[in-house]
Amino acid sequence: MKRYAFFVGCTIKAALPQIETVARKVLPLLDIELEDLAFSCCPNSDFRSTDEYSWLVVAARNIALAEKEGLDILSLCPGCTQTLREANILLKDDESLRTSVNKRLEKIGLIFMGTLEVNHHLVLLQQHIDTLRNKVTTPLYGIKLAAHTGCHLLMPSHIMQFDNPEQPRKLEELIGIVGATPVDYQEKTFCCGFGLFGSQKETASMIIKDKVESAAMASADAFVVPCPSCFQQLDRNQLVAKRGLKFEAQLPVLYYIQTLGLSMGLSLEEVGYFSGRVRSPELEEKIQSLAQKAAVNV
Amino acid sequence: MITIDFNLRRKILEKNEDIKKCYQCSTCSASCPVLRYDPSFNPRLLIMKALYGSEEILKSGELWKCLSCDKCNERCPQGVNPYNVLLKLKNFLFSQDLAPKERIDARELIINTGCTYPISSAVTRRREDMGLTEFEPLGDELKKILEIE
A232 neighbourhood in chain B, CB within 8 Å: none
A143 & A234 share domain: yes
Cα–Cα distance between B89 and B12 in angstroms, integer? 8
Q: Is residue A130 part of a domain?
A: no
A222 & A102 share domain: no
Is-contact A72 A116, C-beta < 8 A?
A: yes
B142 neighbourhood in chain A, CB within 8 Å: 40, 58, 61
Structural domain harbouring A236: 138-297
pLDDT value at residue A289: 95
Q: Is residue A171 part of a domain?
A: yes
The 10s digit of each residue's pLDDT in B37-80 is: 999 999 999 999 999 998 888 888 899 999 999 999 999 999 99
A228 & A106 share domain: no
A115 & A147 share domain: no
Cα–Cα distance between B148 and B145 in angstroms, integer? 8
End-to-end Cα spacing for chain A: 29
Enumerate residues 6+ apart whose C-beta is below 8 A from A129: A173, A174, A177
Instruction: Tell me the three state secondary structure of residue A79.
Output: helix
Edge-to-edge strand list for the sheet holding A181-183 = A181-183, A144-147, A222-225, A253-255
- Chain A from 53 to 72: CB within 8 A of any B CB: 54, 57-58, 61
Task: List the one residue out of A130, A178, A175 whose CA is nearest residue A148.
Answer: A175
Residue A11 confidence (pLDDT) above 90: yes
Residue A137 confidence (pLDDT) above 70: yes
A108 & A195 share domain: no
Closest chain A CA to residue B61: A199
Which amino acid type is present at position A29? Answer: L
- Chain B interface test: which of A41, A101, A200, A211 (most B C-beta within 10 Å): A41
Q: Is residue A133 part of a domain?
A: no
The structural domain count of chain A equals 2
The 10s digit of each residue's pLDDT in A25-59 is: 999 998 999 999 999 999 999 999 999 999 999 99
Q: Determine, for residues B95 and A51 on separate chains, whether the beta-carbon distance falls below 8 Å.
A: yes
A74 & A164 share domain: no
pTM: 0.96
CA distances from B115 to A153, A226, B111 (A): 21, 20, 8
* Last residue within a domain, chosen from A73, A94, A121: A121
Q: Tell me the fold of B6-95.
A: Fumarate Reductase Iron-sulfur Protein; Chain B, domain 2 (1.10.1060)
Mean pLDDT throughout A231-235? 98
pLDDT value at residue B126: 92
B71: left (phi over 0), alpha (psi -120 to 50) or beta: alpha
Enumerate residues 6+ apart whose C-beta is below 8 A from A195: A45, A229, B66, B67, B68, B69
Cα–Cα distance between A238 and B140 in angstroms, integer? 37
A228 & A278 share domain: yes
A172 & A49 share domain: no
The 10s digit of each residue's pLDDT in B97-136 is: 999 999 999 999 999 999 999 888 998 999 999 999 887 7
A76 & A155 share domain: no
A43 & A187 share domain: no
The CATH number linked to A22 is 1.20.1050.140
Q: Is residue A183 part of a domain?
A: yes
Q: Is residue A235 part of a domain?
A: yes
pLDDT value at residue A298: 65
pLDDT value at residue A6: 98
Split at pLDDT 50, 70, 90, the class of A112 is very high
The 10s digit of each residue's pLDDT in A186-203 is: 999 999 999 999 889 999
Mean pLDDT throughout A243-253? 97
Enumerate residues 6+ apart whose C-beta is below 8 A from A125: A30, A132, A174, A256, A260
3-state helix, strand, coil in chain A (%, to 5): 55, 10, 35
Closest chain B CA to residue A49: B87
Averaged confidence pLDDT in chain A:
97
The 10s digit of each residue's pLDDT in B7-32 is: 989 988 998 899 999 999 999 999 99
Q: Determine, for residues A50 and B104 on separate chains, whether the beta-carbon distance falls below 8 Å.
A: yes
pLDDT value at residue A135: 95
Q: Is residue A131 part of a domain?
A: no
* Last residue within a domain, chosen from A95, A121, A147: A121
Closest chain B CA to residue A111: B145
Residue spans per domain, chain B? 6-95, 101-145
* Last residue within a domain, chosen from A87, A121, A155: A121
A60 & A207 share domain: no
- Chain A interface test: which of B62, B63, B115, B136 (most A C-beta within 10 Å): B115
A168 & A289 share domain: yes
Q: Determine, for residues B34 and A196 on separate chains, whether the beta-carbon distance falls below 8 Å.
A: yes
